[in-house]
Structure 1
Amino acid sequence: MTDIAQHILLMGKRARAAAHELVKLSTAQKNDILRAMAGGLRDHAQPILEANARDVAEAETKGLSKPMVDRLRLTPESLEAIAAAIEQVATLPDPVGEILSETTRPNGLHITKIRVPIGVIGIIYESRPNVTSDAAVLCFKTGNATILRGGSEAFHSNTALANALQQGGEKAGLPAHSIQLVPFTDRESVDHMAKMDQYLDLIIPRGGQSLVERVVNVARMPVLKHYHGVCHVYLHRDADLKKAIDIVVNSKTQKPGVCNTLETLLVDTDLAPTFYPALASALAAKNVEVRGDATVLTHWPDAKPVTEEDWSTEYLDLILSVKTVDTLEEAVAHINHYGSHHTDSIVTENADAAQQFLHETDTAVAMWNASTRFNDGGEFGFGAEIGISTDKLHARGPMGLAELCSYKYLVTGNGQIR
């Protein structure tokens, strides 16, 4: 067994032991620990920022794109926002122990279904160091131990953040090894985590297609995929022009490097002569490169020809594919074929068309007259999220605290035998 394999196995054993201790904590104790974690980040702000500056410098030297570097960068303000977010999680209702159903059988047995922690959760992610805090904190609130494996781009930042969270939390009673960060960035560590089903109850990959597919191919435990977002906006023939422009511009440019940004725009043929010039002007002002079909090229002078590959590409950049469609059915068929089942929106004043779109698109979040950027746990009122699942089991869409729980049945009898 390699040194990496032995180390990952030890982390698993420690995480399982921590999970057994975490289940004993009351909600009040967990909230005290969360506030101590936030204090730990503030106490370690300087070394965290220094570690992040090292990561950013290395990323720029390697030639990472500007959006990727921006996702990586921490500032005193963003670090304070992370600490404040931890304190916000402390104010959220604790789903653990929530009664989901109760029934009494004819024989007198009383059966109660309640939420419980999953146990030990492994999370593999790339680039953004705030995920280290988000994942650890949300898993802890729900009584789960976490093993985190971040990407090489944010290695120093992630290490500093994880240490600050664990050390700060321990001051208020956080069990040892509740939050562990894998100290390796090679792919071997991913494989060992994915095969460690005796200790990991769930693994969540958050990153590019190659990472997700690697985890899915080797995992021996359930996988909950935070997959790529090929998100669509469809402008139906009854769309309002102003709403359409506002929604398209916001969906594409408000934060182009994230998974709920717009990647493909579908436009009804009837709208092309009027909408394309207006959209061209609005998107040009935001420096968006457009790749379109023949109709787009006719009405959009600066557009480039689109390729088949573009329809299924998550750009994470100021690039937009545009397709002209004749019917709502054609738009839905395109989304269901090329989309990633993440976020898809229709812009229309026709309620019947909207309802058809909402029901027929195979997507985690279907929207009507709203920006795709609203697919977010905070915007949904969850307070925070662990990610956005494109799976159908056991969670779909933004994953809040409830989605980090399993359930079990409590059966109370009075001597009944079968």
Structure 2
Amino acid sequence: MSGREPSWPAGPADLEGLLRDLAPQALGALVRRYGRGLFDACEDAVQEALLAAATQWPADGVPQNPRGWLVTVAGRRLTDTVRSEVARRRREDALALATPQSALLGPAPDATSPADRDDSLQLLFLCCHPDLSAPSRIALTLRAVGGLTTAQIAAAFLVPESTMAQRISRAKQTVRTAGLPARRLPEGLAEVRQVLYLIFNEGYASSGGDALTAPALSTEAIRLARLLLRLAPDDAETAGLLALMLLTDARRPARTGPAGELVPLADQDRSRWDSALVDEGVALISRTLPRGRVGPYQVQAAIAAVHDEAPDAKSTDWPQILALYDVLAGFGENPFVTLNRAVALAMTDGPEAGLAALAPLEADRRLARHHRLFATRAHLLELLGDPSAGGVYREAARRATSAPERRHLTEQARRLEAGADPDRT
């Protein structure tokens, strides 16, 4: 706890960023030290320590070991809380803190040691426990690792705060009582990557509501993916996931018009794309692909890079994209991969070929009623000049759950019905 920098050298935003980075490390250390059974109490203690740091550090200076400071203060708060509870329940022998070790997280460190290991990866594993449902994994990860409040998470997923609070509470209960998963790397990393991918997708294309995107979620997913890559720097698929996020999120400024309307990729003003994110994503996937075994996130990132490097829509290298989708399809049957491959096929071999590739999806329960299947079919029919395209656009709009997507698809139907030029290649 001794030894401080003479003053806080940066602004409030930098302090907030530092605390957000340190929060999961402190929580992971406490959970490792005191066990999963005190997960809620550990989280509360860390929040109190963060509040104390936000109050004291700007005035007193940042400790030489800020992580150790947070762990120590949070540990004291947790000890006080548990001792008070023990006294109230008169069960001091049963509940007294004896620094039990968590089998998942290993032996406890010296909280003030600069050599403390970062427990964020293990905390991510814990939040992505295989016994949790995907929504519960996402919610718990955003709460415990991302530091978002329950209200923020509820708002992002368009559910009442009470509903999200119950979901998080049930997830914590599962973590407290579930047996420890036998899996480690790479299975554990795969589960974490999937959760971060789902968080990013919800942020980049909201599944419901009046807004097309939820930037806070996609931004948080990118931050956590950077953290994961820092913790597992040799994992090529984690690098691929981060590259995919960067290359996709780079387009977000151009995805909506002045009134918040959806702007398709082909119509976007590419000068509005974030070139820094594009450059970082391209560099990352370029370093990753030659290193060894290729996985699906790396292939998706390569597809995104081909799109992002094209100066305009007509310059897109569709044959390369089609070849990459063929590689992606080799990782396992996925209806959305089939859908996207059909678009690439249409752009290389013509809309008739794309429509033929869509046909098997009509019998796939996972996609047969999805608005994206109808929207894609409508687009390809439009390219053919088929007069039924307008009606298919309307059916796609009826099935869409996102208001911006619904308005966009309805507008496409109106445009065709008004006799507008269908050429959108």
Identify whether the pair has TM-score above 0.5, normalized to the shorter chain.
no
When the two structures are superposed, what TM-score results if normalisation uses the length of structure 2? 0.28
Relative CO higher for 1 or 2, CA cutoff 8 Å, sep ≥ 6? 1
Which structure: greater helix fraction?
2
Tell which structure's C-alpha radius of gyration is larger: 2
